[in-house]
Structure 1
Amino acid sequence: MFSLVSDVFEPQTWLESRVYDLLELHDIKQPEEIHLTELCAAYGIELWNITGRSRAHPHPYLPNRYVIAVDERLPLPSRREKIAHELGHLLLHEGIQPIGSTSMIHWQEAQANHFAEHLLMPFPMFVPLLENCNRYEAPFLLARIFRVPLALAQKRFDRLLGRLYAKGHPINW
């Protein structure tokens, strides 16, 4: 089935293309190779465990460096999602942005969310994973393999189904 719909797995937005370029740059080809700690280190970003709201901010001691502080009480899948989201802010929005309009903040949050989705669950990595499961098992399988919250896996899987439908491919698995 998936060999017939390879076009669905190609990047379809500027952001998706940029994230896939980042994965290629770091030679990340499998879900187990998505190491956020290493990605952050490659860009000089420190990860700190805190108790409180996860966020990114300038490093308090090192100029032109940043910190992603993540609530240590979160389960690992949620921590990964938060780190990827904050990494998206830092890489896409050139660090900390000044206070902007509400619409600009919403746009940046949506863009950071999409960055995290593409980084943590790239569609091309879905191909071998989904060949031997049904559409009801798929989100659970994806959540486990990509180490993300089930809600994120479900959203990403729904986006895949939407792409299949938009391309005119039957969704009958």
Structure 2
Amino acid sequence: MTYTKTHLEDFVEALYRNMNIDNPEDIDMELIAHRLGIVIDYVDAPSKSVYAAGFVVILVNKQLPPPLQWQDFAHELAHVLRHAGNQNLLPSGLRMMQEWQADHFAAYFCVPGFMLEKIQFPPSLEETILIVSEKFNVMPWFAAARFNQWFNRFFF
């Protein structure tokens, strides 16, 4: 079977390669933010991205466990990299579309397909999900959804 990458996968891969990040072990939220010129601040509030004094700041909810912080960071990074303007001024339908796009980006960014290709997976789906969850520091439900999405592109 031939796997054809999506435009989003190409974008994510190029972004990672431009930051010299090629393996799951190299993924570090603070390093990524630094290399992209983004400030991270940990707050007692829901995660969001803001523009302040000429800086891009991603506010991450410090009450969340690290995998959810990482997933939130990726979601907010999508807004920074792929959306413009104040989302609160958008009609609800466009806001919902941007949220869907940010969730979609987060899946591809947190668990990049070009890195999944390098992993030797066991025959058990449960073990595979645990490996993906641990290697990419994401919640098991997130790992399962992304792995299934990636795997199904080989056959559908």
Q: Same fold (TM over 0.5)?
A: yes
1:42 match:
35
1:140 and 2:130 are equivalent in the alignment: yes
Closer, same or farther: CA 42–96 of 1 in aligned 2, 3 Å: farther
Q: How many residues align?
A: 156
| Same amino acid, percent of matched pairs | 27
Gaps in structure 2 of 5+ consecutive residues: none
Deviations 1:71-114 (A, max 9, x none): 11110000000011101100111364451111111111111111
Question: Structure 1 CA distance, aligned partners of 2:148 and 2:122?
Answer: 18
Listed as ranges, the matches of 1:117-128 within 5 Å are: 117-128=107-118
Q: Which residue of 56, 74, 97 maps to 2:64?
A: 74
| TM-score, normalised with respect to structure 1 | 0.82
Question: Structure 2 CA distance, aligned partners of 1:94 and 1:117?
Answer: 20
Larger radius of gyration: 1
1:31 match:
24
1:164 match:
154
Gaps in structure 1 of 5+ consecutive residues: 167-173
Letter in 2 for 1:85: H
CA contact (8 A) 1:89 1:95 kept: no
1:171 match:
none
| TM-score, normalised with respect to structure 2 | 0.90
> What's the RMSD between the two structures over aligned residues?
1.7
Instruction: Out of 108-117 and 133-142, give the one that drifted further.
Output: 133-142
Question: Structure 2 CA distance, aligned partners of 1:11 and 1:25?
Answer: 18
